Structure 1
Amino acid sequence: MTAAPSPTLLRRPLRLGPRGRWWFDVLLVAGLALPLLPAGWSVGLLAVGVALLELLPLLWRRRHPVAVFWAVTAAHALQVLVQDEPSLGQTAWPVAVYSVARYAAAPHGWAALAVSAVAALTAALDWTVGSPEPRVTVLTNAFLLGAVAATAWALGTLGRTRQAYVDALVERSERVEREAAQQVALAAADERARIAREMHDVVAHGLSVIVVQADGARYAARTDPDVAARTLETVASTGREALTEMRRMLGLLRAEDATGDGGLPALRPQPGLGDLDALVAEARTAGARVEARLPDPAAAGEVPDGVGLTAYRVVQEALTNVRKHAGPDVSVRVDVELTGVGRGRAVVLRVEDDGRGASADDDGRGLGLLGMRERVAVHGGTVEAGPRPGGGFAVSARIPA
Structure 2
Amino acid sequence: MTTAPAHRQPWRLGPRGQWWFDIALATALVTPAALTPLTDPGWTGLVISLAQLVPLYWRRHHPVAVFAVVALASAAQAALIDTPMWSQVAFPLAVYSVARYASAAWGLAAVGVGLCGAVVAAIRWVLGFGGNLEPDPVIAYVVTIATIVVTAWALGALARTRRAYVDALVERGERIEREAAQQVALAASDERARIAREMHDVVAHGLSTIVVQADGARYAARRDPAVAADTLATISATGREALQEMRRMLGLLRTGDSADLLPQPGLADLAGLVVGTSVDATLPDPATSVPDGIGLTAYRIVQEALTNVRKHAGPDVRVRVDVTVDDEVTVLVEDDGRGAAAPDDGHGLGLLGMRERVTAHGGDLEAGPRPGGGFRVRARLPR
Give the conservation status (yes or no) of the 8 Å contact 2:123–2:133.
no
Give the conservation status (yes or no) of the 8 Å contact 2:33–2:86.
yes
Distance 1:28 1:244 in 2: 78
- Corresponding residue of 1:163: 163
Distance 1:31 1:159 in 2: 23
Amino acid at match of 1:105: S
- Corresponding residue of 1:24: 21
TM-superposed CA distance for 1:226, in Å, is 3.8
Distance 1:167 1:262 in 2: 54
Q: Provide closer, same or farther for how the CA distance between residues 67 and 234 of structure 1 changes in structure 2, counting only shifts above 3 A.
A: same
Distance 2:37 2:264 in 1: 88
Query: Aligned to 1:128, what secondary structure does the other structure show?
Result: helix
Give the conservation status (yes or no) of the 8 Å contact 1:12–1:170.
no
Counterpart pick for 2:104 among 103, 106, 110: 106
TM-superposed CA distance for 1:162, in Å, is 0.7
- 1:228 and 2:225 aligned: no
TM-superposed CA distance for 1:222, in Å, is 4.0
- Corresponding residue of 2:191: 191
Query: Aligned to 2:84, what secondary structure does the other structure show?
Result: coil
Report Cα offsets for 1:201-239 as digits up to 9, x if no partner: 233212111023223423543454344224213324534
Give the conservation status (yes or no) of the 8 Å contact 1:124–1:141.
yes
Counterpart pick for 1:93 among 81, 91, 94: 91
Distance 2:291 2:229 in 1: 21
* TM-score, length basis structure 1: 0.57
Give the conservation status (yes or no) of the 8 Å contact 1:209–1:238.
yes
- 1:37 and 2:37 aligned: no
Distance 1:218 1:160 in 2: 84
Amino acid at match of 2:184: V
- Corresponding residue of 1:71: 69
Amino acid at match of 1:81: A
Q: Provide closer, same or farther for how the CA distance between residues 235 and 261 of structure 1 changes in structure 2, counting only shifts above 3 A.
A: farther
* TM-score, length basis structure 2: 0.60
Structure 1 range deviating more: 234-243 or 128-137: 234-243
Gaps of 5+ in 2: 1-5, 255-262, 269-286, 297-383
Query: Aligned to 1:35, what secondary structure does the other structure show?
Result: helix
TM-superposed CA distance for 1:194, in Å, is 0.9
Amino acid at match of 1:62: R
Query: Aligned to 1:28, what secondary structure does the other structure show?
Result: helix
The 5 A counterparts of 1:55-66 are 55-66=53-64
Q: Provide closer, same or farther for how the CA distance between residues 68 and 245 of structure 1 changes in structure 2, counting only shifts above 3 A.
A: farther
TM-superposed CA distance for 1:35, in Å, is 1.8
TM-superposed CA distance for 1:142, in Å, is 0.6
TM-superposed CA distance for 1:241, in Å, is 5.4
Structure 1 range deviating more: 69-78 or 190-199: 190-199
Amino acid at match of 2:125: W
Distance 1:70 1:261 in 2: 81
Distance 2:68 2:163 in 1: 24
Give the conservation status (yes or no) of the 8 Å contact 2:36–2:45.
no
- 1:13 and 2:9 aligned: yes
Give the conservation status (yes or no) of the 8 Å contact 2:210–2:235.
yes
- 1:124 and 2:122 aligned: yes
Distance 2:186 2:77 in 1: 67
Amino acid at match of 1:34: T
Report Cα offsets for 1:344-368 as digits up to 9, x if no partner: xxxxxxxxxxxxxxxxxxxxxxxxx
Structure 1 range deviating more: 26-35 or 13-22: 13-22
TM-superposed CA distance for 1:24, in Å, is 1.2
Amino acid at match of 2:177: E
Give the conservation status (yes or no) of the 8 Å contact 2:64–2:106.
yes
Identity, % of aligned positions: 56
Counterpart pick for 1:54 among 44, 52, 55: 52
- Corresponding residue of 1:212: 212
Report Cα offsets for 1:306-340 as digits up to 9, x if no partner: xxxxxxxxxxxxxxxxxxxxxxxxxxxxxxxxxxx
The 5 A counterparts of 1:1-400 are 12-14=8-10, 15-43=12-40, 44-129=42-127, 130-132=130-132, 134-239=134-239, 242=242, 249=250, 255=265
Gaps of 5+ in 1: 1-9, 268-401
Distance 1:262 1:176 in 2: 42
- Corresponding residue of 2:326: none
Distance 2:213 2:84 in 1: 107
Taking only aligned residues, the RMSD between alpha carbons, in angstroms, comes to 3.1
Distance 1:134 1:172 in 2: 56
Report Cα offsets for 1:264-287 as digits up to 9, x if no partner: 9xx9xxxxxxxxxxxxxxxxxxxx
Distance 2:150 2:157 in 1: 10
Distance 1:91 1:261 in 2: 81
Report Cα offsets for 1:368-396 as digits up to 9, x if no partner: xxxxxxxxxxxxxxxxxxxxxxxxxxxxx
Give the conservation status (yes or no) of the 8 Å contact 2:22–2:57.
yes
Query: Aligned to 1:55, what secondary structure does the other structure show?
Result: helix
